[in-house]
Amino acid sequence: MTENNAVLIGKKPTMNYVLACITFFHSGAKEVSIKARGRSISRAIDVAEVVRHRFLPDVKIKSIGIGTDQLLSQEEGNSATNVSTIEITLAR
């Protein structure tokens, strides 16, 4: 799988990301990776579930990876902040 098949979750509505995933699958991709950090993690899970249950029932969850990124905050005197991450890989 190439990194071009990654959907990065942000603050847009859930259906925007669902459409991006469906577009990848219809263009021939066998796998799509949904990536999110922090508060967007719940939206990433919603995207995966909507894709699987409402639009493409043949898509399965291949893997789920969780982790932590350490970000340097410039506002608070360069202190490190931990941010949770998730990567959900959907496969046909």
Q: What is the pLDDT of residue 71?
A: 87
Q: Is pLDDT of 1 > 50?
A: no
Asked: is 3-91 a CATH 3.30.70.260 domain? The reply is: no
| Confidence band for 63, pLDDT divided at 50, 70 and 90 | very high
Which amino acid belongs to residue 23?
T
> For residue 5, is pLDDT > 80?
yes
Q: How confident is the model at residue 51 (pLDDT cuts 50, 70, 90)?
A: very high
pTM of the predicted model as reported, rounded to 2 decimal places: 0.89
